[in-house]
Structure 1
Amino acid sequence: MKLRKKLPGLSTQILIGLILGAAFGYFFPEIGKNLKPVGDGFIRMIKMIIVPLIFSTLIMGIAGTGDFKKLGRLGGKAIIWFELATTVALAIGLIVINLAHPGVGVNIPVTADAGAKAAEAAHKTINMVDYVLHIIPTNIVDAFARNDMLQIIFFACFFGVGVAHIGKEGEKIVSLCRSVAETMFKVTGYVMSLAPIGVFAMIAYTVSSFGIAMLIPLGKLILSVLFATLLFIFILMLVASLITHMNFFHVLKAVQEALLLSFSTASSEAALPIAMQRLEQLGVPKNIVTFIMPTGYSFNLDGSTLYSSAAILFIAQIYGIPLTIGQQILIMLTLMLSTKGIAGVPGAGFIVVAATATAFNLPADGVAIILGIDRILDMIRTTCNVCGNCVATVIVAFWEKELTKETFDKSYTENFQLNPISKIH
């Protein structure tokens, strides 16, 4: 028992795993490349949790809400915040790249295969009508099998409202879902104990496969996107704090394990369960957490939108193609629509950038240049996505008057200052 108390918290263990993994991949690249299955195994364990956890918690949250009126109000307030945050993210991405000029002087040869891949992706278009229809599942079992979050959320919303309207019989279903959710949170704890090992393996593979030297020519882009992301998060925290009079930098501390995990694995799914737990421990009601977080996972991708605007402008700079203010505003509007729900489309981040580049007459080959560092950029944008969704959840809870400053401060003090959560588990 004494030995357990002396062990560092989970976030510290994950950070140690990240640093050791990077060093291992650099010094032992051949072995590091073979560690990919270990990292993949960890991600697969995380993914096996997602569907039962999200479905059960959504049913609890929606059935607890009770009707479409409150559900619509929650969704409406969430969409308002999502759009405001997305617009700010896009603007910051464009402004920083305009000032930093990371694409100027970059001269990286593009292989024929990479160019062909980029060109193929560029010709793929996201048909909004088909996309909206795709949200409606024809077979919910098939949606579960494919981990199609949008279809699962759509079905869960209708199912939850139905459960709320059948009276006492519905209480049995809610109770069952509560038991499933609690069980899945316990399973999450077991899986999370393996996070340092999974992170070590994934980072070792990334460094050994892509190397550190190849990042140097594109280092300016990485630093520009990183700076833009940090600036966006700071502005987001500041604005949210001013609106609610709550210290949103405490939210960052509360969800630090989820943010570090999302950065290490470049997977929003990996961070979702623990982020939801920490938000509840901050005093956010379960019905708000279980509705806003999964919805934001598909519709509030601040990091992805920021990255997309930066990538488009970077490609233009590489080829010396000037873009007017009007064209950049049009790019913003295009990306505001095309990035909605892209988490549910395989490789959609790449497809959106390629399609947008082609729409504005930018060479498709430019997209291939970014592929070499996409893993690093993915780590940055995924962390921003998770952070943005956590902030949105707290904001909506405040707007719904279901979270007060007093409750927030008390929960933070009890759970994250006097009794640090990361050391309990």
Structure 2
Amino acid sequence: MRRILSNLTFWVLVAIVTGVCVGHYFPKTGVQMEIVGKSFVDLIKLFIAPIIFLTIVMGIAGMGDLKKVGRIGAKSLLYFEIVTTLALAIGIAVAYIIQPGKVDKQGIVLQDPTKYTRASDFSWWHFFLDNPTLQVLVAAIVLGIVLNYVKSRETILRILERLSKWVFLALKYVMYLAPIGAFGGMAYTIGKFGLATLVPLAKLMLTVYVTMALFVFVVLGGILKYYNISILQLLKYIKEELLVVLGTSSSEAALPSIMVKLEQMGCSKPVVGLVIPTGYSFNLDGTSIYLSMAVIFLAQLYDVPLSFWELAGIIGILMITSKGAAGVTGSGFIVLASTLTALHKIPVEGLAFLLGVDKFMSEARAITNLIGNSVATVVISKSEGDFTQPDFNPQEP
């Protein structure tokens, strides 16, 4: 009993259940808890930049082999593009077969969509400017490469390693607040939107969740099985991070701790330092599934027929626009607006239908994104021969 009460996972679960109850039975109080969940996520975000910076710089400078850095980067981007494209195709195929958009529109109240549906052309330059994580990533890569040519490299690396230990120690104590953050995030979600608002779009939600579950266990599970690792093993090992994401609806909340977990699992520091931060911008499996299904859902809602080539076009457009989903303000809605505008067939105003359930589906997106990036890190580390624990056992570190 004492072991259970001292387990952070137990308290995160209790916090999530409590948050649901408070949001449902005391909605006004639940809405007021928004600041609690938001503050926890904001606190975690403070650690993201220094951890990414320190990890990548030490990884590249300590590797001493710039060819290997380039190989890992190229291999990662190729993997990201293949897997996210597969996620887009699966999302479209499932939505096209199940047809979640064939629902009764009665009872759905249109809100002012202009805030979310102002379409703007996708720009890589604006994507870079709006994505601090990507900026830190580029700066760290450049500095890591430069340090390979500095004579005092070892001294600088020792200083950075000492700083890294202090940062991760501070993070360890901050993570004790995870139950409070999970409670606030869940209480606000239920209190703000309520359970009843989900009824008209329940079929879409169910389809999204089932599709993402199949993607995790079949596609990602199959990839891991090739490397003799069970997807259930991995999920058990990162369960605390998954619960934090579930409570906060943000995969960023688990970014620092997932990097630590993957290193302790056996993935090399350079691989973790390169793959995870890059994956948060370019390997969004859950977001890709959601975006593709949302487009098909709206097409079905407006009874807009789509040809095979138009479906292929949707995949092509989303292959580009979905890469900006993590860094553009308004993320999903802006990306969807850009995609619908490019198609010139589906009313952009239809995004208003998704407002009520988008928050609830964000948990599925964030969790799938986190699992996808964890699998990618294991795959790249294994392919590089840098996985130090071939007999991985998912025990608490």
TM-score by length of 1: 0.89
Measured in 1, the distance between the counterparts of 2:353 and 2:283 equals 27
TM alignment of 1:363-402, pairs within 5 A: 363-402=347-386
Match of 2:112 among 98, 111, 114: 114
User: What is the CA distance between 1:44 and its match in structure 2?
Assistant: 1.6
| 1:255-306 deviation digits (Å, cap 9, x = unpaired) | 1111221122111210111111111111111121111111111111111111
Measured in 2, the distance between the counterparts of 1:108 and 1:277 equals 48
- 1:334 is the counterpart of 2:317: yes
Measured in 2, the distance between the counterparts of 1:320 and 1:213 equals 25
Matched residue, 1:264 = 247
Q: Which amino acid aligns with 2:121?
A: T
Matched residue, 1:42 = 40
Q: How many residues get paired?
A: 396
Matched residue, 2:123 = 127
| 1:51-75 deviation digits (Å, cap 9, x = unpaired) | 1111111111111222431111001
TM alignment of 1:180-219, pairs within 5 A: 180-219=163-202
Residues 271 and 214 of structure 1: CA distance in aligned 2, closer, same or farther (over 3 Å): same
Measured in 1, the distance between the counterparts of 2:106 and 2:80 equals 36
RMSD across aligned positions (CA): 1.9
TM alignment of 1:135-214, pairs within 5 A: 148-167=132-151, 169-214=152-197
Measured in 2, the distance between the counterparts of 1:48 and 1:147 equals 14
Residues 109 and 190 of structure 1: CA distance in aligned 2, closer, same or farther (over 3 Å): same
| 1:371-395 deviation digits (Å, cap 9, x = unpaired) | 1111111111011111100000000
| 1:170-208 deviation digits (Å, cap 9, x = unpaired) | 222212221222212111111111111111111111101
Measured in 1, the distance between the counterparts of 2:383 and 2:366 equals 26
- 1:293 is the counterpart of 2:276: yes
Matched residue, 1:142 = none
User: What is the CA distance between 1:8 and its match in structure 2?
Assistant: 4.9
| 1:337-362 deviation digits (Å, cap 9, x = unpaired) | 11114312211221111111122221
| 1:209-237 deviation digits (Å, cap 9, x = unpaired) | 11110011111111100011001111233
Measured in 1, the distance between the counterparts of 2:104 and 2:121 equals 28
TM alignment of 1:64-143, pairs within 5 A: 64-107=62-105, 114-120=112-118, 123-128=119-124, 130-131=125-126, 134=128
Contact 1:33 1:204 survives alignment (8 Å): yes
4+ residue runs over 6 A deviation: 109-112
User: What is the CA distance between 1:147 and its match in structure 2?
Assistant: 6.9
Matched residue, 1:249 = 232
Contact 2:57 2:143 survives alignment (8 Å): yes
Matched residue, 2:218 = 235
TM-score by length of 2: 0.95
Residues 108 and 151 of structure 1: CA distance in aligned 2, closer, same or farther (over 3 Å): farther
User: What is the CA distance between 1:248 and its match in structure 2?
Assistant: 3.5
Identity of aligned pairs, percent? 38
Measured in 2, the distance between the counterparts of 1:34 and 1:241 equals 42
Contact 2:181 2:247 survives alignment (8 Å): no
Contact 1:51 1:147 survives alignment (8 Å): no
Measured in 2, the distance between the counterparts of 1:359 and 1:365 equals 14
Residues 118 and 46 of structure 1: CA distance in aligned 2, closer, same or farther (over 3 Å): closer
Which structure 2 residue ranges, 5 or more long, are not aligned? none
Measured in 2, the distance between the counterparts of 1:6 and 1:149 equals 36
User: What is the CA distance between 1:239 and its match in structure 2?
Assistant: 2.4
Measured in 2, the distance between the counterparts of 1:108 and 1:57 equals 52
Q: Which amino acid aligns with 2:280?
A: Y
User: What is the CA distance between 1:79 and its match in structure 2?
Assistant: 1.3
User: What is the CA distance between 1:370 and its match in structure 2?
Assistant: 0.3
| 1:114-141 deviation digits (Å, cap 9, x = unpaired) | 2333442xx211124x347x46xxxxxx
